[in-house]
Amino acid sequence: MMFQLPKRLLPDYAQEQAEYIFCSRCRYVNKASHRFCTNCGIPQADGEQEQLLYNIREKQRKESLGRSEYNVRVARITLYVLAALCLTGTAIVLSDLDERYIWGVLCLTGAVLYAILGRWSVHRPFTALLVSLVVVGTFTSVSILSKPEKTFTTLEGTYAFVFFLIIMVLLGRGVKSAFQADLTKEEMEVL
Ligand SMILES: [Zn+2]
């Protein structure tokens, strides 16, 4: 449905120019000659071609949203895996080692932290995954910088390094996708 606006209600700049119309969906003021709303993309004219183009664009948005949400899910699972690994670490550490209490507390803290971040990413994916990326990045950097020779000369150090690199890539992809998903949702939002 299209609204024709009385000229006297339009702002001065609009009165001087051609006809302007309200978008029936988002209320954005568009030039009447526009085929699509500049703000939300819905067709301004009732043409079959316009509707077809709009449907294709909507389909692309949904597909893009689907991909983004998949990546966010993968990043969330990554956090839960980290939490589980920390918890396993807690169990192993508590069984032997001299400094086992310190390590036990550290691992347990990690497990709780990653589980909370994973849970948070359900409601605020972008913020939660960005915080996770910073947390994991900091822990990784600190552990590498404290024992640089162990990371790059021993096999287990290399494995750990590659493992954290993969985690960082998955989380980074999650952050990017969460951002993309927010944008797409905003575009698709019906007022
Ligand atoms: Zn619109």
Average per-residue pLDDT in the chain?
86
Give me the mean pLDDT over the 13-30 stretch: 78
Give me the mean pLDDT over the 104-110 stretch: 87
Instruction: Report the separation in Å between the CA atom of 175 and the middle of ligand 1, taken as the mean of its atom positions.
Output: 28
- Scanning the chain, the segments in alpha helix (DSSP H) are 12-16, 48-95, 100-123, 125-146, 148-153, 155-188
Higher local confidence (pLDDT), 99 or 47? 47
Instruction: Report the separation in Å between the CA atom of 7 and the middle of ligand 1, taken as the mean of its atom positions.
Output: 20
Check whether 44 has a pLDDT greater than 90: no
Instruction: Report the separation in Å between the CA atom of 10 and the middle of ligand 1, taken as the mean of its atom positions.
Output: 17
pTM of the model: 0.74
Instruction: Report the separation in Å between the CA atom of 88 and the middle of ligand 1, taken as the mean of its atom positions.
Output: 52
Q: 2 is written with which tokens?
A: 């299209």
Phi, psi (deg, nearest 5) at residue 34: -70, 140
Instruction: Report the separation in Å between the CA atom of 35 and the middle of ligand 1, taken as the mean of its atom positions.
Output: 11
Confidence of residue 16 (pLDDT cuts 50, 70, 90): low
Check whether 132 has a pLDDT greater than 80: yes
CA angle 146, 151, 155 (to 5 degrees): 150
